[in-house]
Chains A and B, each alone.
Chain A
């Protein structure tokens, strides 16, 4: 029932001014959503993790570079010291010109003092290595140039076979060194040593691995912290969102908790204030509306009792009017006619106030449309004033009394304001049922079409009172809505009169 009423309110044409229901758009259903990446929580999470990663990686990179440099420098210095010491220690043993055999001996002697390294001795075109099979391309031309140019130990770091190597080179001076800093006389012999840096590389790699291992807990911790932060921020936001949704569905008493002194608490406070004001205002409006409704209903009911007495007595006056003086007879007939009108008006007022109070219910039975409409017309002696196009066999579940009210009001309206012939047409298409009432009058001007369902609307303002109560069309529309249907007015076209179409859902199911 209620659902049907709501549906009716939503699908009704904009003919009667009525505020739309607050549940528009179906936003009222609280739904449990999965956390979304583009949501606040996701964004917060991503930001915190990215920041944590950047700082951790930067710190790691800096530390790695520093420690690697330190390790390499130390290894380098040690190698240079060893190399120089060894060479200086062995230099006295060689003569120049030097023969290849003593060169080899010299090389292997130097080599044996340097841990696992290849030593190459060069003199003019002769080159002898401590390991004859070893590849000597690790000694680059640049290093050779440097060695030739500087009397000191030159060094270069190279990559060979995917491993780091330190290549040292020095010219061999003759004679005892004449003191620190003073260069011995060059002998033309150059000596190179290739030392592996694999161990140092391994050490720094170990460092990187341990730092990498440390990153995972850091990121996890960041995620955890981000979630905690999101929770403290998002929980009140989400509560607020839920409260707003419920407020939108009309639950005006909803309030949220105001905790703390931050911006969110301020927002919650503002929300509560807004909801409070809204509740107060709506409450006042509802109270006024209820009072107004009750007033109309009470007045109507109070009118019924004197009307009941008057209606009864008026019948007597009417019957005896012939025996009265003409003036008195006229007075009696006028009172009688006006009493009948007043009775009809009060009936309509009571009916409409019952619609307003939602105190009406449908009594539906499956019925034959053609038969029901013919009976409606016959009961009011309209059969020969109205043309009908009523195909037999259309059945629908309707409230017969209310259908009669709708048809009677539409036809009465057409007969009163339109011009004959008035035609009633019934059609059933798919799941819709239409009953059209057309006349051949001038049709409705747009202004009248907009207001024809308004209460007490008079199309012709010069006519202060008409035969009807002015509520008939409003009652017809309310009855249509109660069935989940509408009444529409076709736009004015030349050559045809006003066409009112009642549209109802065609229900013939046997569930009762």
Chain B
């Protein structure tokens, strides 16, 4: 069963979430600080952790910093847990590399759905192809992306987004379609997730992120891969 790292400083919330997650069959490592969480991840093989649920406001290093450090060492899916939900917090969290965010209070069912969706993104895709887009090679079997021979490591959400967009080059996908395809959210999800992920992906793929070649914005409609 998926192994969850829960970083939450409030004891009651932590206990409640741990209870719910265990009832859904997860193995849970629940810690109160970002430092403790990073310590768990630094155990051999990342302590077997498959996904992290991180509170934003933490004593010591905060949730943004935890996100950045987890991103710096690997592609572990991260769900940001925020009690503020202010635009600035959400956007900063997404830019720090979180794959999704949930605003407290949240029911166990919604959290479970979000975790499953994030884990599915990390799971293998069935298609087996290898595409070469003007030097950008996407290996759908090996789930690797290289540009002019240089490997580009991508976290699961961004990889999924790239795979969905590049599956049909030239076709415009709206933010809502991408939300459904990649995040498996219904409409009530937030298009800021899509914009933040596209922003991070561009920063890694494009020569000039401000003038994207691969992932282009179609104003008023959404995003499109190419045409190159």
Interface segment, one of B63-71, B104-112, B198-206, B208-216: B104-112
Contact of B220 among A307, A360, A365 (CB under 8 A): A365
Q: Chain B residues near A319 (CB, 8 Å)?
A: 23
Contact of A379 among B10, B85, B86, B186 (CB under 8 A): B186
Residue in A closest to B176 when the chains form the complex, CB atoms? A375
Q: Chain B residues near A508 (CB, 8 Å)?
A: 220
Does the CB pair B108–A305 fall under 8 Å? Answer: no
Residue in B closest to A397 when the chains form the complex, CB atoms? B220
Does the CB pair B23–A316 fall under 8 Å? Answer: yes
- Closest beta carbon of chain B to A483's beta carbon, Å: 16
Q: Chain A residues near B207 (CB, 8 Å)?
A: none
Q: Chain A residues near B87 (CB, 8 Å)?
A: 360-361, 363
Complex Cα gap A319–B108 (Å): 11
Does the CB pair A354–B86 fall under 8 Å? Answer: yes
**How many residues in B have their beta carbons less than 8 Å from beta carbons of A?**
32
Contact of B104 among A308, A316, A361, A400 (CB under 8 A): A308
Complex Cα gap A343–B108 (Å): 14
Q: Chain A residues near B16 (CB, 8 Å)?
A: 308-313
Does the CB pair B220–A363 fall under 8 Å? Answer: no
Residue in A closest to B104 when the chains form the complex, CB atoms? A308
Q: Chain A residues near B85 (CB, 8 Å)?
A: 350
Complex Cα gap A508–B190 (Å): 21
Does the CB pair A316–B20 fall under 8 Å? Answer: yes
Q: A376 at the A/B interface (Cβ < 8 Å)?
A: yes
Per-residue CB proximity of B1-36 to A under 8 Å, as 1/0?
Answer: 000000000101101110110010000000000000
Per-residue CB proximity of A351-373 to B under 8 Å, as 1/0?
Answer: 00010000111010111000000
Does the CB pair A366–B220 fall under 8 Å? Answer: yes
Does the CB pair A315–B20 fall under 8 Å? Answer: yes
Per-residue CB proximity of A6-32 to B under 8 Å, as 1/0?
Answer: 000000000000000000000000000
Does the CB pair A315–B187 fall under 8 Å? Answer: no
Complex Cα gap A510–B16 (Å): 47
Q: Chain B residues near A379 (CB, 8 Å)?
A: 186-188
Q: Chain A residues near B175 (CB, 8 Å)?
A: 365
Q: Chain B residues near A343 (CB, 8 Å)?
A: 105
Q: B192 at the A/B interface (Cβ < 8 Å)?
A: yes
Complex Cα gap A233–B19 (Å): 81
Q: A248 at the A/B interface (Cβ < 8 Å)?
A: no
Does the CB pair A312–B20 fall under 8 Å? Answer: yes
Residue in B closest to A311 when the chains form the complex, CB atoms? B105
Complex Cα gap A376–B187 (Å): 8
Residue in B closest to A362 when the chains form the complex, CB atoms? B87
Complex Cα gap A315–B15 (Å): 14
A interface, size bucket: 35 or more
- Closest beta carbon of chain A to B158's beta carbon, Å: 20
Q: A378 at the A/B interface (Cβ < 8 Å)?
A: yes
Q: Chain B residues near A346 (CB, 8 Å)?
A: 105
Complex Cα gap A288–B190 (Å): 35
Q: A395 at the A/B interface (Cβ < 8 Å)?
A: yes
Q: Chain A residues near B107 (CB, 8 Å)?
A: 311-312, 314-315
Complex Cα gap A315–B139 (Å): 42
- Closest beta carbon of chain B to A479's beta carbon, Å: 14
Complex Cα gap A313–B19 (Å): 8
* Chain B stretch 162-188: residues in CB contact (< 8 A) with chain A: 175-176, 186-188
Q: B42 at the A/B interface (Cβ < 8 Å)?
A: no
Does the CB pair B10–A375 fall under 8 Å? Answer: no
Does the CB pair A305–B86 fall under 8 Å? Answer: no
Query: Given A312-B16, A510-B220, A512-B219, A307 and B187 touching (CB < 8 A)?
Result: no
Q: Chain B residues near A304 (CB, 8 Å)?
A: 83, 104-105
Per-residue CB proximity of B125-153 to A under 8 Å, as 1/0?
Answer: 00000000000000000000000000000
Contact of B10 among A305, A354, A359, A401 (CB under 8 A): A305
Contact of B188 among A306, A308, A360, A404 (CB under 8 A): A404
Residue in A closest to B219 when the chains form the complex, CB atoms? A510
Q: Give 3 closest A-B pairs by Cβ, nearest first.
A: A366-B220, A312-B16, A309-B12
8 A-B pairs within 8 Å (CB atoms) are namely A304-B105, A305-B13, A309-B16, A311-B16, A312-B111, A316-B108, A375-B176, A378-B187
